Amino acid sequence: MTAKVSCLVENSVIVFPDQLKARIQDAGLATDNVLKIGDDEEDSLLWCPDSSGEFSVKSAFNEIRNQGNEARWCKLLWKPHIHPKTAAKAWKLIKNRVASEKRSQSIGVSLASACRLCMTGEDSVEHVCWHCPMAQRMWSWARRKFRHNREFWSLGQAICRPKEWSPLIQNLWSTTVFSGMVAIWQLRNSVVMGNERIRIEKCQSFIKNQIDIAARMSKANSYRNALEEDILLNWNLRTNHTSRVIKECRWLPPAANVIKANTDGASTDSNSGLGVVFRDCDCNIILTVCKNIGDMNSFQAEYQAIISALEVAVSRGWDKVWIESDSQAAITSFAHNRVPWQMKFRWLKVVKFFTMLQMSTTWREANFSADKASKVALSLTPHILYSYEERPTWLTVCENPDTSYYRFK
């Protein structure tokens, strides 16, 4: 392709050929936000790896070394509640730095590989730790203690734990996963080296030991409900139900002539939505908007909700606006003018319009009408902005300035 950008401009508008349009969209950009605001504005370069679009040595370094989010287990392994010796052994297993017959085969040693625990599978980390019937017996014993019934056949599957668990139970679970790998491998070693009898109880007591250490060392030390109390009792751990801190928050109406927009984003595995509820100083809902924004993560959805709220405000001629979101990260980056570069042009286009623009964060507990709107958006036709001039029938409750909302910490 030898064409220049100027070839695409027709009457100050860039007209994209379909092929190019598809590429721009593939890069995560929209064809309506790569434009400058005016012809007099300087062209600028964007450094895509950093969300701000600005180049930094740090982000370049991270880009080169391809840090990425390679392995979720890294974040879970090197923790104070996991004994460093166990963590180091688990790390060796995960990285396949152990003497297995499979590994010997891979470096050219000719031998028949057989798992000593079941005599049917091969002697590899993957088999011994995950697929071997002995390992599966150990894992199902551990799962029962956690009242956790999803089977797993790899580390990736094993470390996916129920989101509703409190941090304490999550810490105990990750300890179980890593120490279980180490335990079963140690059992395999003792059988290979000393022809010892296979006793799964050895694994169980090793895991129990590690769980005791984790419970003592874990920074999180309180549980949430009866089910979690039950899990702790299963492990014979002293239960420590610290009383939770209850915090109060309120939804406040805007001042006269100011429009308040509560925004929220929602996302599922394949879909995401944004919702904005606009209200005036008398707390009337004057407009609700919802949009299904396709496959985005929850952060992106929060940003999209804010920028869409601003665009709608501009289109309605509301120049005094208060944006409230429950995403601290999104509000902070807008407030510090460090908007993700994908949205920078949309932001610059609208921000000049406002004579007053206030931004604040609140808790989900006091932002539930926008939350509802963002969830409704998930089932709408993608990429169409739905506006409700009157209060939508599904918005049965909204924040009341005379009510206190509570968060339990």
Rounded Cα distance between 226 and 165, Å, is 12
Q: Is 200 in the site for Zn ion (CB under 5 A)?
A: no
Rounded Cα distance between 234 and 169, Å, is 12
Q: Which of 14, 34, 46, 118 binds Zn ion (CB under 5 A)?
A: 118
Q: How far is the CB of 382 from Zn ion (least distance, A)?
A: 47
Q: Which of 90, 117, 231, 306 binds Zn ion (CB under 5 A)?
A: 117
Q: How far is the CB of 311 from Zn ion (least distance, A)?
A: 59
Q: How far is the CB of 127 from Zn ion (least distance, A)?
A: 6
Residue closer to Zn ion by CB (options 77, 129) is 129
Q: Is 114 in the site for Zn ion (CB under 5 A)?
A: no
How many residues would you count in the chain? 409
Which segment (70-78, 109-117, 161-169, 375-383) binds Zn ion by CB under 5 A? 109-117
Q: How far is the CB of 152 from Zn ion (least distance, A)?
A: 16
Residue closer to Zn ion by CB (options 137, 338) is 137
Residue closer to Zn ion by CB (options 130, 251) is 130
Contact 221, 374 (CB under 8 A): no
Residue closer to Zn ion by CB (options 152, 386) is 152
Contact 264, 374 (CB under 8 A): yes
The residue among 358, 360, 385 whose CA lies nearest residue 373 is 385
Contact 127, 116 (CB under 8 A): no
Query: Quick one: tokens of 239?
Result: 């239960």
Q: How far is the CB of 187 from Zn ion (least distance, A)?
A: 11
Q: Which of 90, 115, 183, 259 binds Zn ion (CB under 5 A)?
A: 115
Query: Quick one: tokens of 121?
Result: 């599978």
Q: How far is the CB of 110 from Zn ion (least distance, A)?
A: 21
First-to-last C-alpha distance (Å) of the chain = 57
Q: How far is the CB of 135 from Zn ion (least distance, A)?
A: 7
Rounded Cα distance between 351 and 131, Å, is 57
Query: Pairing between strand 285-292 and 385-388?
Result: antiparallel
Residue closer to Zn ion by CB (options 121, 265) is 121
Q: How far is the CB of 128 from Zn ion (least distance, A)?
A: 6
* DSSP letter assigned to residue 269: S
Which segment (119-127, 173-181, 234-242, 399-407) binds Zn ion by CB under 5 A? 119-127
Which segment (87-95, 132-140, 220-228, 281-289) binds Zn ion by CB under 5 A? 132-140
How far CA 13 is from CA of 16, 346, 349, in Å, comes to 10, 16, 15
Number of chain residues interacting with Zn ion (CB under 5 A): 5
Q: Is 132 in the site for Zn ion (CB under 5 A)?
A: yes
Residue closer to Zn ion by CB (options 155, 331) is 155
Q: Point out which residues pair with 225 in neighbouring strands.
A: none
Which segment (92-100, 131-139, 297-305, 384-392) binds Zn ion by CB under 5 A? 131-139
The total of other beta-carbon atoms located within 10 Å of residue 49's CB is 13
Which segment (104-112, 125-133, 136-144, 268-276) binds Zn ion by CB under 5 A? 125-133
Q: How far is the CB of 205 from Zn ion (least distance, A)?
A: 21
Q: Point out which residues pair with 267 in neighbouring strands.
A: 272
Rounded Cα distance between 342 and 27, Å, is 10
Residue closer to Zn ion by CB (options 135, 373) is 135
Residue closer to Zn ion by CB (options 125, 307) is 125
Query: Quick one: tokens of 365?
Result: 């507990």
Rounded Cα distance between 100 and 135, Å, is 16
- Three-state DSSP at 80 gives coil
354 φ, ψ (degrees, to nearest 5): -80, 135
Residue closer to Zn ion by CB (options 100, 367) is 100
Residue 23 backbone class (left: φ over 0; alpha: ψ -120 to 50; beta: rest): alpha
For Zn ion, the binding residues in 277-296 under the rule CB under 5 A are: none
Residue closer to Zn ion by CB (options 204, 361) is 204
Look-up of token digits 């609700």: 288
Residue closer to Zn ion by CB (options 203, 231) is 203
Binding residues (CB under 5 A) for Zn ion: these are: 115, 117-118, 121, 132
